[in-house]
Amino acid sequence: MAKDNLIDETAPPPAKIITAEQGLYQNILGDIQTIKLSGKDTGGKFTIFENNNPPGVGIPLHVHTNEDEVFRILEGEMEFIVEGNTNLLKAGDTIFLPRKIPHSFRVVGEQNAKAIVTIIPSGIEEMFIQLNQLPAGPPDMGKVLDICGSFGISFI
């Protein structure tokens, strides 16, 4: 299923409070994330995730066709490779990753890294929900690539 444009300009979405314990918890091929706000909550404008991963977890070099991403590091350290440059981000740091710019990231150091990830516009959360529904065990990479590709994500 390809991403639909969920932006509704006719009426603003209602205000919403999400407590620390709330959200849709998922383990996407080892990437631990909790969807805090989805496109259904924001009128399609953005999605917010909270990631909390141990050292070594990351996503290989990839490109988003449709979304911009912002990572705000709350705890730990993450290494981002963007346009061939390696960047080490620590607690308090923020990185903006525009669509169509290849990037990768992984948790480095000795402790878990916790980050708030904002994705603009929303829709990609549906990709993660589909990936989370794959059977346990070693992933069928063909299915993973098909799902990601249907949302405009390609791996390099």
pLDDT in tens, 16-70: 999 999 999 999 988 999 999 999 999 999 999 999 999 999 999 999 999 999 9
pLDDT of amino acid 135? 87
**Mean of pLDDT values over 136-145:** 90
The neighbour count for residue 67, using CB atoms within 10 Å, is 23
CB proximity list for 154: less than 8 A, separation 6 or greater? 62, 63, 65, 148
Residue 115 exposure: Cα atoms within 13 Å on the Cβ side: 31
**Mean of pLDDT values over 123-149:** 93
pLDDT of amino acid 61? 97
Record: fold of 24-155: Jelly Rolls (2.60.120)
pLDDT of amino acid 138? 86
CB proximity list for 23: less than 8 A, separation 6 or greater? 34, 35, 36, 50
Q: Give yes or no for residue 104 having a pLDDT over 90.
A: yes
Q: For 123-133, what is each residue's pLDDT tens digit?
A: 999 999 999 99
Q: For 69-100, what is each residue's pLDDT tens digit?
A: 999 999 999 999 999 999 999 999 999 999 99
Query: Which alpha helices (H) appear in the chain, and where do they start and end?
Result: 39-42, 124-132, 141-150
DSSP3 helix / strand / coil % (the chain, rounded to 5): 15, 45, 40
pLDDT of amino acid 2? 47
User: Lowest-confidence range among 5-9, 23-27, 108-112?
Assistant: 5-9
Domains of the chain, by residue range, sit at 24-155
The neighbour count for residue 26, using CB atoms within 10 Å, is 17
Kind plus residue range of the DSSP H or E element containing 14: none
